[in-house]
Structure 1
């Protein structure tokens, strides 16, 4: 079949592509590094022609112009399923709203509740069989593609061809329009540089990892520190079943500690739903069968992930209260990031035989004039519960690691205070007494 004839027929200019958007439409953007950063400014240029266009993104790299161009929000109403730094800046200016969800439920939410008029996303160049690869962002892409009325792909020759577990590509016959981009490199997201506290937290986490463990790392300095330590360790036959694939996984693979040989399935392959890192990661993924791209309702599904033994989930938090409620996405009422897959994997890890769901945080907030504890009596007013106390498992600070599962409220308070900053402990005990979650026999 002559795919290139069809390619040329569907190839349009960016100006013509965005003309398909009408007032009142719902427009979905591709996720993470596969966001339509080339088409977004062209759509923004149509501001005065359009009204009430709802745009949905996930971790848009940079500042989405459809939001930045319209301070009144009469033309574009911009929303995000998970905040990037740019989305956070827009939110602070009242130009972006968050859409709460459990990440593994994303495809089903789209099928049940959303009617997407236009879906635009970045893809790798067409292959010899007529497929456009989703590259680094599988995520909810296929679900959007199956439910959207119009599909526009923007082709980028810098996007790696990421081999799949499944549903990692779309055929040209399913695409309505093709736009060729300026082929700028994908966004580069270097690993956060771990500080001394991160390294201390990571050292406690390392004691909880065994040979044959299946590793899920979140984003941030602490998970990065754990990944670096794993790469330098003598652990054997680790595997990866994760939401995000970051540079640390390349380090673990190349160090020989991550072979995936003991995984229950996807043996020898790192299963992930999106990748975000530096060119090192993108080069590693290109046509590499050591990695497998899957939709998020596979990677993040508790019924799938928990089938692996020794599933170890390592994630950051903003604060945790003495009841064990974890806030990882907001500072009071200010949305900072999103739920993402944190709940999915903390929940899944406990279901895994020998698994551990680990919440990591420094004992003190950074950049504060006076000492402020991240372990608090109750969450900051307006703070969002990302992981409810019933699901919280292991919690780690630089002062140690505790396991809250099966513990009563007074036991939880005692355990959490034991890993708080020593200067904060007396005040936390006083607050625990006021809340009637402290008994006289409590000891630290």
Structure 2
């Protein structure tokens, strides 16, 4: 995870440093504060609220990267002189945990000359690849407990949704849980506002498995209820597999600590399409910001400007669509209101400059609060009809008119 004390110490040295390359991934630290100087050259493949503006200003370089291979850094990244990370205190055997955020830390450590670690007394332990031996750490620094507590509280606050968001998520998650997830499936849940809310809507299912990127809240309850067993998984049977745990309360994190069912691994492993291809019943549920009328999904950008990143969404979607009995599901609210005007998230074409996070060939279903649009096995004309039916009713007439004008078909 992010080591706040080490990040602060390094950034405090900005006046005396020049051209130090900093690679950060899903950063919670405001490196962009120092983007205008010459101290740090920053690179990230996934934006957060602390660096979006700096990426837009050109002060932080964005690396679009969506297909991962276990143990390998993205092209153009590393090796590193230093890795700064967070670990637990060593156990009796000298093994430390990366806590609830493994991310690419094992790969970073393997590709770094020197490893400096901030020791977090509150870091949890899990099974899997979530460990590093203290002998591999070159320098240890005590963590600031107050700062670590604020980070965890911020994670819990991120759970709060508006009344409208909650209502939309409830409808969509009910549709997904009732119609698209089946007993015995292995489920991936993206970290967006809707997909991360899915767990409580799976309580009627049995023998589910979990293989995901960031683990959202509610999974411990599903294990306790016998819903999640993992017995039918293609890999790591009986285990919940993820790279990190986010959007959970401190209480739930404490329940996961030491739980034998949870295994955290390096991000390059959990999101490796070769690994995902071994799950014959993978159901990938991911958020999008826009879906065009042919099924292409933008899940990472507002126009040309990165808002997050593809993360593992592309790999999970392709693997699920390719699986023997898998399903690639895109979820999103049908519309949003800006400046008092309702605007559709189902669009004729993605916004200018917006990327395609998931190609239409890897989208089986699109779900909004207005229903389920089936893309699998559908012609272009049929896809347009399906997506018009799940757009907001106020937006359908204009969308239909635009589609008829573009394609020249009667719809």
CA contact (8 A) 1:192 1:224 kept: no
**Is 1:416 matched with 2:387?**
yes
Does 2:132 match 1:170?
Answer: yes
Tell me, what secondary structure is at the counterpart of 2:24?
A: strand
Matched, 1:223 2:195: yes
1:258 to 210, 228, 232: 228
Q: How many residues are matched? A: 400
Say which of 263, 284, 301 aligns to 1:292: 263
Query: Residue 136 of structure 1 aligns with which residue?
Result: 100
Q: Tell me which of 302, 327, 331 is aligned to 2:298.
A: 327
Give the whole-Å Cα distance in 2 for the aligned partners of 1:56 and 1:358: 31
Q: Does 1:270 align with 2:245?
A: no
Change (3 A) 1:392 1:73: farther
Whether the 8 Å contact between 2:208 and 2:229 is mirrored in structure 1 is: yes
Separation in 1, partners of 2:73, 2:113: 17
- 1:391 aligned to 2:365? no
Tell me: CA distance 1:368–1:214, structure 2 relative to 1, closer, same or farther (3 Å): farther
Residue number in structure 1 paired with 2:206: 236
With normalisation by structure 2, the TM-score equals 0.91
Q: Distance in 2 between matches of 1:346 and 1:395?
A: 12
- Secondary structure at the aligned position of 2:328 is classed as strand
Match of 1:53 in 2: 20
Q: Deviations over 1:158-184 (max 9, x none)?
A: 1111221x3x22222222211121233
* Contact preservation (8 Å) 1:67, 1:77: no
Whether contact under 8 Å (2:65, 2:74) holds in the other structure is: no
User: What is the deviation of 1:113?
Assistant: 4.6
- Change over 3 Å in CA distance of 1:283–1:362 after alignment to 2: same
Structure 2 Cα separation of the partners of residues 224 and 110 of structure 1: 26
Structure 2 stretches of 5 or more lacking a match?
none
1:11-67 CA-partner distances (Å, limit 9, x unpaired) = xxxxxxxxxxxxxxxxxxxxxxx1111111111111111011121111222x42x43
**Aligned residue for 2:123?**
159
DSSP 3-state at the match of 2:21: strand
Q: Secondary structure at the match of 1:149?
A: strand
CA contact (8 A) 2:70 2:272 kept: no
User: What is the distance in 2 between the residues matched to 1:173 and 1:111?
Assistant: 28
Tell me the secondary structure at the aligned position of residue 39 of structure 1: helix
For residues 241 and 107 of structure 1, do their structure 2 counterparts lie closer, same or farther at Cα, with a shift above 3 Å needed? same
Residue pair 2:32, 2:50 contacting (<8 A) in 1 also: no
Over residues 199-258 of structure 1, what are the superposed CA-to-partner deviations in whole Å (9 max), with x where a residue is unaligned?
11112112111111111111133123321211xx32111111111112121232233311
- In 2, the alpha carbon distance for the partners of 1:106 and 1:89 equals 31
- Residue in 2 aligned with 1:407? 378
Paired residues of 1:192 and 1:220 also in contact (CA < 8 A):
no
Indicate the residue corresponding to 1:305 in structure 2: 276
Q: Deviations over 1:76-113 (max 9, x none)?
A: 12332212222224435554332211153474234775
1:78 equivalenced with 2:42 (yes/no): yes
Q: Distance in 2 between the 1:366 and 1:355 partners?
A: 34
Give distance in 1, aligned partners of 2:340 and 2:379. Answer: 34
SS in 1 for 2:269: helix
The answer on whether the counterparts of 1:237 and 1:260 sit within 8 Å (CA) in structure 2 is: yes
Corresponding residue to 2:152 among 183, 187, 202: 187
Choose from 317, 331, 356 the match for 2:288: 317
Partner Cα distance (2:93, 2:374) in 1 = 51
Whole-angstrom CA distance in 1 between matches of 2:67 and 2:258: 26
Q: Structure 2 vs 1, CA of residues 224 and 171 (structure 1 numbering), >3 Å: closer, same or farther?
A: closer
In 2, Cα distance between equivalents of 1:378 and 1:430: 13
Q: Measure, in 2, the Cα distance between the counterparts of 1:177 and 1:102.
A: 32
| Partner-residue secondary structure (3-state), 1:86 | coil
Please name the residue that 1:381 is paired with: 352
